[in-house]
Structure 1
Amino acid sequence: MKERKNVYLLPAGDTTLAWYSKAVVEMKKRPTTDPTSWNYQAAMHGFNASLSFWRGAAPLPSQTEQNQYWNQCQHGSWFFLPWHRMYLAYFEQIVAATIVKLGGPADWALPYWNYSDTSNPNARTIPPAFTNPNNATNGLWITGRVSDTIPPRYVTLGALNTIPYTGDGRTSPLGFGGPETGFSHSGGTHGQLESLPHDMVHVAIGGAMGDPRTAALDPIFWLHHANIDRLWQVWLNMAGGRINPNKSSWLDYNFYFHNAAGQSAQFTSKQVEDTRQVLSGYTYQGVPVGGPTLRTANALQNADFSTPLEITAATNQGVTLGSAKTVAHLGLNASPQKAVNLAATTNSAVSKPALTILHFENVTGKGVPPIYDVYLNEPQNGGDKESYYAGSVSFFGVEEASTPSVHQSGSGQHYALDISDLVNKLRSSPNWKDQQLDVSIEPSRAVDADASVNIGRISVYSE
């Protein structure tokens, strides 16, 4: 059984990344029509021939083959975690087989990049092997990355505090793994782990990584997703009723891939719940494998996921984001059935703030926008700005989600931020308004000329 190791804890002289680089170079030599080639594997996640990163990829497989195997990544869906686990498993198998053919070790395993490790001052920086040398002689380098280092707020792990696997923050609390869906290649509500840190890391690095249609062309993509896969197991190991879905529509759903021999292969979510049972099996360094398939009533005895949420405030029109700060004013919903004063946000029955979720609905756009930071009731006269920070949104894959296809309607994405603690704190501030919530949205870096974001509605749902 393999152990996927922390890339920053590989010992001196370790050859894991050196062999990975050699395998990438070899896989890039294979034609795009070869399922074990670098291009084919990346296209399974996403592909668009018009994007510059795909220049020179032709000839391509038949359209029938592309329809079955390419553009299959699951986002905004409860399949986000199992699909990417399957994807990594077969990719790792292909790379390992390539390494053996090149004369390398038979036990090669994909490492993971733990960018959230606060004990490592270098954790948020892409490992040096991926940036030095910064030219085509390095199989792990790719042109176009915007940044090699990710700001701290974009790698926090608040998602691990989310107990239910599924949820949308409107009809139920937010979910760790995403909302219950069918096949969902793009669009929809992003689960908490997908929103942060997954999406943030993609967009913060930028370049190929900033767009789902090119992301897997960057070799760091695979270490990033190994870490996301690891965090799924970390979450399952925590107490409090954290369990995977038990519906057959999740457990038995099939996805198709190719193995190291280039033959068609498939997995269901149920088959990949336990990493020790995935292909030849693997574990993560420092992360024991518990019982992810254990689903009992007792596991949920202390968890209440049935909290009814009601809309309490919303914008009256769409919001367009640009290169400067945008402020949206959310007025209280006047409906007698739904009108809940935003000041009444403390649930007296429990010793915690009432659940309050900020939503960005029907988000459409073009290009690769930057991450946007969100603040609530930010004072106009300066002061400690971070005291009003509500979270960030990345809009990873917004252009694809805005384009109608066989996979989605083109209605865009949906992001949600849990603002319960912040709203509860702001209620005592002098600039609190019972009938209005001011939402400030600021780009974290310069906005590309070809990038745009339009939010259909910003709303608040509360207990």
Structure 2
Amino acid sequence: MTVKRTQRKNLLNQSLNDQSSDLYWYNEASKAMRSKDVNDPTSWGWWAAVHQYASNVSQNQYWTSTDVNGERWVTNLDNMDQSGNAQWWAHCPHGDPKFLPWHRAYILAFENALLQVISTLPNAPAQWAMPFWDYTTSGAEGFSLPPAFKVNNNSLYFLNRFLPFSAEQYYSATVTSTVDENFEQYRFAIEGMPHNVVHTGLRGAMRSILTAGLDPIFYTHHCQIDRLWAIWSSISTTTTTYNSDGYFKWLYVEDGIVKAKDAKIALNDCMSTTDIPVTDLSDNLLDTLSYDYETAPFEQQFINSVLTQRTMKAPMASVSSIKGRLPMPEIKTDALEQLIFASSTRQVKVSNSSEQVALKSLEQKSLANTLALTREVSKPEQIHSLTIHIDGVVTDGDSGNYLVILDELDEGSANVQNRWQIGYVSFFGSTVEDGKTALTGGKPMSVRLAVPHEHADQICGQCMNNKRLAVSLVPEYEGADYGVASIEKIVLELKTQK
């Protein structure tokens, strides 16, 4: 019997001791896939390597780690590069338009692998699906690391996680990440918040793209990112998406043995989670996938917060026309005017202590004219967004999260007159190994952080009045063990719309 796919459910409602729960069978499957040759597509190591792996894999503390019984999670690491399987590994795109669709296909292929493994286990259920960790729309219960992932007595435990982790401080920024209806803007935002900050906030293997796929919490995290994308799709009217094909081993059971075929998952409609075709490499259909997610307690509240922010960003002249008719139409990129009006003047290095970076005012006249237009009743030009860009980031050592604060300084001193807490950024993926980062193309990282809309006009006005502004980067927690992040430039960008 092959276990059938069912609705993906919130793991916060599940018990590791309940044999009817998806969490129970996730634990059993991870146990069955452990201690196998990394070249075996039914092994845990294979699917971690599909995401990415370290160049010094046989010396890496996470790739060589053992479970609660002292068994290796992955074996035969010394032969990875000579196995002929490298074509299937290290394909995750980060800092790339394919980030969301590739990971959707990856989780589907991994979920299918677990379904086949579970099918061979005693007392297997009739249905199963990958559970998601809802750290966004399940209230206070969801903010913390789930209990099953905290204790060292099961197969879902992995070393060096930050057990006091909390996602509470990421909630409002995740709402903001969901506001933009342009797909590429949304992808950039959601990859940064909450995707990257949860990775680095958990520490351990999750802190690095090269090791994250080893940790069982990784797949529940990416189920949540996919779910947030599905929620965004359900309330957005965008017609521009980035479709993608993913190439994976597609597992199936024959005569009680799990076997594998070369396959392609074609995401021809990135806005949909139904009727996704899986084909062999000659385009012969192997399967058609459809899935959905269990509704969470505060999901509608989250959606309402997103829709409220969308109306706040609408131009004044159109507010009356969209009242009571949400979601609002997508704002086209070419309808926006862009102005870089403040920038850092030096390279910045930040690690385990706070760093304040002065910004130099630019385009004073243009900024004054732009802000004057936003106050003209007869010319309904509005502030669309104020964004902090942190560009050219590379990290020597482990990456981390930083609270970004915008300060207004007294003239001629470093005394802070006004302070705005903007939100958290993560430099996940910026760590340099063999002369390049783990991002697509090995490029340096860029981060964007939206300034809360209610602060934007005030901040712009202070800069227009020749007030001195500075950006402070504060490590997320005391005693941080971050590597040194080098930043080429920090800028403030203002976008207006008519």
Shorter-chain TM-score range: 0.7 to 0.9
Give the 5 Å matches for 1:221-370: 221-239=218-236, 241-245=237-241, 250-251=242-243, 253-260=244-251, 261-270=259-268, 273-278=271-276, 279-286=288-295, 303-306=331-334, 307-333=336-362, 340-341=367-368, 344=371, 347-348=374-375, 349-350=379-380, 352-370=382-400
Alignment-mate amino acid for residue 16 of structure 1: D
- The farther-off stretch of 264-273 and 451-460 is 264-273
Q: Is the 8 A contact 1:41 1:91 kept in 2?
A: yes
Inter-partner Cα distance in structure 2 for 1:142 and 1:215: 11
- Deviations along 1:213-251, whole A, 9 cap, x unmatched? 111111111111111101111001114x23442xxxx43
* Closer/same/farther in 2, CA of residues 87 and 40 from structure 1, 3 Å limit: same
Alignment-mate amino acid for residue 84 of structure 1: H
Q: Is the 8 A contact 1:401 1:410 kept in 2?
A: no
List alignment gaps of at least 5 residues for structure 2: 65-73, 252-258, 277-287, 300-326
Inter-partner Cα distance in structure 2 for 1:451 and 1:124: 26
- How far residue 77 of structure 1 moved from its aligned partner, in angstroms, is 1.4
Inter-partner Cα distance in structure 1 for 2:90 and 2:330: 39
Structure 2 equivalent of residue 92 of structure 1: 111
Q: Is the 8 A contact 1:320 1:453 kept in 2?
A: yes
Q: Is the 8 A contact 2:183 2:240 kept in 1?
A: yes
- How far residue 282 of structure 1 moved from its aligned partner, in angstroms, is 1.1
Residue aligned with 2:390, SS: strand
Structure 1 equivalent of residue 131 of structure 2: 111
Structure 1 equivalent of residue 255 of structure 2: none
Pick aligned residue for 2:186 from 176, 179, 191? 176
- How far residue 315 of structure 1 moved from its aligned partner, in angstroms, is 1.2
- Normalization by structure 1: what TM-score? 0.81
Q: Is the 8 A contact 1:210 1:368 kept in 2?
A: yes
Alignment-mate amino acid for residue 358 of structure 2: H
* Closer/same/farther in 2, CA of residues 426 and 460 from structure 1, 3 Å limit: closer
Identical pairs, percent = 26
- Deviations along 1:177-230, whole A, 9 cap, x unmatched? 1xxxxxxxxxxxxx1111111111111111011111111111111111111101
Structure 2 equivalent of residue 293 of structure 1: none
Q: Is the 8 A contact 1:85 1:272 kept in 2?
A: no
- How far residue 254 of structure 1 moved from its aligned partner, in angstroms, is 3.1
Residue aligned with 1:445, SS: coil
Residue aligned with 2:333, SS: coil
Q: How many residues align?
A: 417
Q: Is the 8 A contact 1:327 1:441 kept in 2?
A: yes
* Closer/same/farther in 2, CA of residues 432 and 262 from structure 1, 3 Å limit: same
Give the 5 Å matches for 1:339-418: 340-341=367-368, 344=371, 347-348=374-375, 349-350=379-380, 352-377=382-407, 388-400=420-432, 403-404=435-436, 408=440, 410-418=442-450
Larger Rg: 2
2:489 matches 1:457: yes
Residue aligned with 1:275, SS: coil
2:471 matches 1:439: yes
Q: Is the 8 A contact 1:33 1:59 kept in 2?
A: no
Q: Is the 8 A contact 2:400 2:475 kept in 1?
A: yes
4+ residue runs of structure 1 moved beyond 6 angstroms? 379-383
Inter-partner Cα distance in structure 2 for 1:217 and 1:375: 34
- Normalization by structure 2: what TM-score? 0.76
- How far residue 354 of structure 1 moved from its aligned partner, in angstroms, is 4.3
Structure 2 equivalent of residue 25 of structure 1: 31
